[in-house]
Every structure is written in C-alpha cells, then in structure tokens.
Amino acid sequence: MRAEGPRLGLVAVGTLLCACGGADLGPVRLRHSPPVERLTPQELRALSMECEKYPPKQAFRGRYDAAYCEAAIAAWGDSPLQLVVIPANR
C-alpha cells in the first residue's frame, strides 16, 4: 500500500505537466479562408504582405497555410495596378 502513494504522486505531477503544455503539442489550425478569389484588393495586399514576413516552411507561413499564402501572393502579383486619378487644379 505504501508504494502506491509515490506512484499516485508521480501520476498527478505528470498529468499536470501534460495539461500545461498540451496546447503546444496539439495540431495547429492554419488559416486558409476566405477563398483568395473573394478578397478585395486591399485584403489581398494585406494578406500577401503578412505571408511574405515568414519564409516558406513545409506546410505553413506564420499562421496561414502555405498553399493559401502562395495563392494570395500570386493573385496579388497578377492583379491590375490600382490607379488613382488626381484632378488638376484650375
């Protein structure tokens, strides 16, 4: 009976340690929405700039899915220039 006390203590400490670090070991949920086709030019630019902050890894760029980032960067690169016409003062 006396041997069970230390074992239970070790189990309790191990459980607490696992519970504290469990969030880091779980699967990462990468962002990959809304679809790139639905983003406004401003949103596409912001997403592309955010993705370019991180070097391409195996499956992710920061908190985004790598394929999603690549699609956003390509779409932003292919988008037409946004020209603003400034009227001349008369």
**Considering just the CA atoms, what is the radius of gyration of the chain in Å?**
24
> Is 88 contained in some domain?
no
Is 66 within 8 Å of 57 (Cβ atoms)? yes
Cα distance between residue 50 and residue 53, in whole Å: 6
Is 35 within 8 Å of 43 (Cβ atoms)? no
Tens digits of per-residue pLDDT, 5-29?
566 555 554 554 444 444 443 455 7
> Is 17 contained in some domain?
no
Asked if pLDDT for residue 52 goes beyond 50, the answer is yes
Q: Provide the residue range defining the domain that includes 48.
A: 27-79
Percent of the chain's residues with pLDDT above 90: 13
pLDDT at 50: 92
> Is 69 contained in some domain?
yes
Cα distance between residue 46 and residue 65, in whole Å: 15
> Is 12 contained in some domain?
no
> Is 71 contained in some domain?
yes
> Is 48 contained in some domain?
yes
